[in-house]
Amino acid sequence: MPLSEFSLIDRYFTGHSRHRSDVALGIGDDCALLDPPLGQQLAVTLDTLIADVHFFANADPEGIGHKALAVNLSDLAAMGALPAWATLALTLPKIDEDWLAQFCRGLFALAEDRGVELVGGDTTHGPTTVITIQAMGFVPPGEALRRDGAKPGDVIYVTGTPGDAGLALAAAFGQATVAPEYRADVQDRLERPQPRIAQGLALRGVASAAIDVSDGLAQDLGHILERSGVGARLTVDRLPLSPALTASLKRDAARRMALTGGDDYELCFTVPSKKTTRLEKLAVAWRCRCTRIGVIEAEPGLRLVRANGSTFSLERLGYNHFG
Amino acid sequence: MPLSEFSLIDRYFTGHSRHRSDVALGIGDDCALLDPPLGQQLAVTLDTLIADVHFFANADPEGIGHKALAVNLSDLAAMGALPAWATLALTLPKIDEDWLAQFCRGLFALAEDRGVELVGGDTTHGPTTVITIQAMGFVPPGEALRRDGAKPGDVIYVTGTPGDAGLALAAAFGQATVAPEYRADVQDRLERPQPRIAQGLALRGVASAAIDVSDGLAQDLGHILERSGVGARLTVDRLPLSPALTASLKRDAARRMALTGGDDYELCFTVPSKKTTRLEKLAVAWRCRCTRIGVIEAEPGLRLVRANGSTFSLERLGYNHFG
């Protein structure tokens, strides 16, 4: 006999994650009851992952659980928010207890590691696996890293080495070959993105704008430019290319992958020039690279240039779900 | 050329709902930024609706938009919370602008009417329509209507006339025939449930436990009983049957529908006997019925009895998504 919806929820989604003192009532009633901290704003984000659209249906379920939460924590990081609570809407075509147990292991390991408590859930039966997580966190008023604060002269940075997840995805579709010694690395970058939470917190009061790179660096930077009413000049020679990327693709193809590959969940942010020294000192302590890649300009549009000043061209900026 | 994901979101989901002063930053950044009120708890709930599972794919899109929000506001109502904010995760098989416009009309009409602002969204492309809304509201600490507070001797009430939505659903599946003069009424009850927000707010400090009736009165009352560690005796002659129900079904079948039909979104709640006079005075002002249907008892289990004391039997308690 199949488990009922309710025992399913009971078995897999209660009691796993840590119990935060600001959760007055967790899963199991009509609503969760939460105590927001005094003097903080609540940052709220949500992302949906769909089988065979955002992940391969036959991928490692532990990785899917990790990623479903990670992409949301990445949005909190991009806002400079400290993660606190999450809810999960999980639609499944069938009950597969092994899959669920592994999915939960990935989800709750990351939640535990980042101090997040799952406070609500809805498990439903539908034709395909659809996972929506909403994450909530805190940020002091006026300190959030919005998209609309970039000013001409601000320096543009990116964390990590964008393009690795895009390379893994291209390889999965047979559009690229990953150098054998890097296959596990890039697969891990695709399946287990690490939300840059510490970096986002450090950027409070330093960055003028920030976004996380989910749909490709060029496209996501474009959102900052649009919302801020500015443009940018990006020097492609400065792009921090991983050894995996340079070992697997020719130099210009590697740059294109770093600019357009999705799923990296790095932070792209801008810093006023008078704060760049402070930023670069902070970044020494980070467990990821932090690279200056360009500069904000008054003229709208994104200009990609080589070190010699010639134009670098892209056919597309990034991923479009309905494109 | 299809609309991109982003212009879709821009066109349909920004600028529609009212602008609350506690929304510092709405849709369009990595996160929304919200200002929770001082001294209140945050009540959080989410519900997923799936095409041809929770609604007919070809149903009136305006009704689907209404219902997707209504079911969540109903959860806030059942907690005694004042609705404030909502987010929407919308997965669509294709872009149908007519459908979207109508869906939004239903969603935003209810949001506007109940003072709710949509503060976040994620629109994705998937094989079927999946709608997850998360609603957030406020309730003073200690005043939330939890499921676990019912005590022996408490009186059980239900708002409205449960069973009408179940009748419409049964008719849609050819399992019942609705008396012609009531067809529009019961269809409206199924497609446009009215969350009992004012009633939930009035029940603060009065009700000892509450739940909204989404999966059938008997099953949902069962959750109160289980969480409170009590049982109940319910007198089926007292069930408030609508004229539509009694005109369409024989008396006992109507009672069964009132007890097991889902999708009503009425409130079922318990009130300590010393507060029932106060409750019944409050309820005079309500725009819906409020009916005493039974009593909480120490002995676990739900006992359904007729006025003459004989047992009333049910084959199933309600709806089970994986049953």
Find out whether A232 and A252 touch, Cβ atoms under 8 Å: no
- Kindly determine whether residue B320 and residue A4, on different chains, have CB atoms separated by under 8 Å: yes
Helices (H) and strands (E) in chain B, counts: 10, 12
Distance, in Å, from the CA atom of A169 to the CA atom of A172, rounded to the nearest integer, reads: 5
Q: How many CB atoms lie within 10 A of CB A206?
A: 19
DSSP H or E run through B42: strand B41-50
Find out whether B162 and B260 touch, Cβ atoms under 8 Å: no
Q: How confident is the model at residue B267 (pLDDT cuts 50, 70, 90)?
A: very high
Q: Is A101 helix (H, G, I), strand (E, B) or coil?
A: helix
Q: Strand runs (DSSP E) across A179-263, as ranges?
A: 209-213, 231-235
Distance, in Å, from the CA atom of A289 to the CA atom of A159, rounded to the nearest integer, reads: 5
Least Cα distance to B102 among B19, B4, B12 occurs for B12
Nearest CA distance, A55 vs chain B (angstrom): 12
- Kindly determine whether residue B50 and residue A91, on different chains, have CB atoms separated by under 8 Å: yes
Distance, in Å, from the CA atom of B150 to the CA atom of B155, rounded to the nearest integer, reads: 9
For residue B104, pLDDT over 50 is answered with yes
- Kindly determine whether residue A146 and residue B321, on different chains, have CB atoms separated by under 8 Å: no
Q: Does B315 touch chain A (CB under 8 A)?
A: no
Q: How confident is the model at residue A4 (pLDDT cuts 50, 70, 90)?
A: low
In the structure encoding, which two tokens stand for residue A266, read together? 């790095």
- Kindly determine whether residue B50 and residue A126, on different chains, have CB atoms separated by under 8 Å: yes
Residue B58 per-residue DSSP state: T
Distance, in Å, from the CA atom of B170 to the CA atom of B163, rounded to the nearest integer, reads: 10
- Kindly determine whether residue A321 and residue B147, on different chains, have CB atoms separated by under 8 Å: no
Distance, in Å, from the CA atom of B245 to the CA atom of B161, rounded to the nearest integer, reads: 9
Q: How confident is the model at residue B145 (pLDDT cuts 50, 70, 90)?
A: very high
Pick the range with the lowest mean pLDDT from A81-85, A221-225, B13-17.
B13-17
Q: Does A45 touch chain B (CB under 8 A)?
A: yes
Residue B95, pLDDT score: 85
**Residues of chain B neighbouring A120 (CB-CB closer than 8 A):** 44-46, 134
Q: How many CB atoms lie within 10 A of CB B280?
A: 14
- Kindly determine whether residue A321 and residue B5, on different chains, have CB atoms separated by under 8 Å: yes
Mean pLDDT of B86-94: 94
Q: Is B48 helix (H, G, I), strand (E, B) or coil?
A: strand
Pick the range with the lowest mean pLDDT from A137-146, A291-300, B8-17.
B8-17
Mean pLDDT of B146-154: 97
Residue A318, pLDDT score: 59
Residue B314, pLDDT score: 87
- Kindly determine whether residue A43 and residue B28, on different chains, have CB atoms separated by under 8 Å: no
Q: Counting one residue from A and one from B, how many pairs have CB atoms under 8 Å apart?
A: 210
DSSP H or E run through A43: strand A41-50
- Kindly determine whether residue B146 and residue A79, on different chains, have CB atoms separated by under 8 Å: no
Q: Does A252 touch chain B (CB under 8 A)?
A: no
**Residues of chain B neighbouring A79 (CB-CB closer than 8 A):** 29-31, 33
Distance, in Å, from the CA atom of A203 to the CA atom of A275, rounded to the nearest integer, reads: 11
Q: In sequence order, what are the residues at sequence separation of 6 or more whose Cβ sits closer than 8 angstroms to the Cβ of residue B273? A: B153, B154, B155
Domain residue spans of chain B: 5-139, 155-305
pLDDT single digits (tens) B276-289 = 999 999 999 999 99
pLDDT single digits (tens) A230-268 = 999 999 999 999 999 999 999 999 999 999 998 999 999
Find out whether B161 and B261 touch, Cβ atoms under 8 Å: no
Q: Rg of chain A over CA atoms, in angstroms?
A: 20
Residue B286, pLDDT score: 95
Cα–Cα distances in angstroms (integers) from residue A28 to residues A37, B44, B206, B227, in the given order: 23, 12, 22, 9
Specify the amino acid at residue B295.
Answer: V
Find out whether A168 and A187 touch, Cβ atoms under 8 Å: yes
Minimum-distance CB partner of B120 among A8, A45, A95: A45
What CATH class is the domain B5-139?
Answer: alpha beta
Distance, in Å, from the CA atom of A149 to the CA atom of A79, rounded to the nearest integer, reads: 12
Mutant choice from A21, A30, A125, A224 vs B, greatest count of B C-beta within 10 A: A30
Mean pLDDT of A117-140: 94
Residue A95, pLDDT score: 85
Q: How confident is the model at residue B323 (pLDDT cuts 50, 70, 90)?
A: very low
Distance, in Å, from the CA atom of B78 to the CA atom of B212, rounded to the nearest integer, reads: 5
Q: Does A93 touch chain B (CB under 8 A)?
A: no
For residue B64, pLDDT over 70 is answered with yes
Model's pTM, two decimal places?
A: 0.93
According to DSSP, the β-strands at B130-139 and B231-235 are unpaired
**Residues of chain B neighbouring A119 (CB-CB closer than 8 A):** 44
Mean pLDDT of A63-87: 98
- Kindly determine whether residue B34 and residue A50, on different chains, have CB atoms separated by under 8 Å: no
- Kindly determine whether residue B44 and residue A123, on different chains, have CB atoms separated by under 8 Å: no
With a cut of 0.90, is the ipTM above it?
yes
What CATH class is the domain A155-305?
Answer: alpha beta
pLDDT single digits (tens) A145-187 = 999 999 999 999 999 999 999 999 999 999 999 999 999 999 9
Q: In sequence order, what are the residues at sequence separation of 6 or more whose Cβ sits closer than 8 angstroms to the Cβ of residue B157? A: B268, B269, B270, B271, B279, B290, B291, B292, B293
Q: What percent of chain A has pLDDT over 90?
A: 84
In the structure encoding, which two tokens stand for residue B38, read together? 């001082």
Q: Is B60 helix (H, G, I), strand (E, B) or coil?
A: coil
A77 to chain B: closest CA residue: B30
Q: How confident is the model at residue A322 (pLDDT cuts 50, 70, 90)?
A: very low
